Amino acid sequence: MLEQLESPNEKSELAGLLEYMENSPAAIEKEFAKGEKDWIDCFEGRVDGIRDGLRNQEVERMLTEKYGDPEISEGINLKIGKIKDYLLVLRREYGTKDKLLPETVKQELLETINTLFEL
C-alpha cells in the first residue's frame, strides 16, 4: 500500500507524491463540486498529476531503491496508460455528462490510484 513505501520520518518528493495520491478522493470530489468539469476529467487531472510527480528524479531514485528495479517508474506509467485507456471507454459509455457514472465505477477508479505501486 502507499504507506509502506516510505517511513513517516522521511521528507521527500516521494512523500509528497504519496500524500497527493492519498488525498486524491477528496480532491477529485472538491474539483467536481465546482461544476466546471465532469468527474472523469477531475479524476484524469489527478492521474496526470501523479504521472508528472513520477517524472521527478528524486522520486525515480527512491522508487528504484525501494523496489530494486530501475524501470519501476516505467511500469507505473504503463498502469497509468491503462487507466487512461479505460477512461476513454467510460467516456464513450457515459458521455461527458457522467453525473450518471455509477459510484461503484468511481470507487474502482479511485482504488486504481492506491494500487499504482503494487507491481
CA 65 → CA 4, 15, 38, 54, 98, distances in Å?
A: 13, 14, 38, 14, 40
- Residue 2 included in any domain: no
* Cβ proximity of 114 and 21 under 8 Å: yes
- Residue 3 included in any domain: no
Q: Would you give the distance in Å from CA 66 to the centre of its chain?
A: 19
Number of domains in the chain: 1
- Residue 1 included in any domain: no
Tens of pLDDT, residue by residue over 66-109, are: 888 888 888 999 999 999 999 999 988 887 665 578 999 999 99
- Residue 4 included in any domain: no
The alpha-helical segments, DSSP class H, found in 1-119 are 13-22, 24-33, 39-54, 57-67, 72-94, 103-114
Tens of pLDDT, residue by residue over 24-46, are: 999 999 999 998 888 999 999 99
- Residue 94 included in any domain: yes
Range of the domain at 90: 9-114
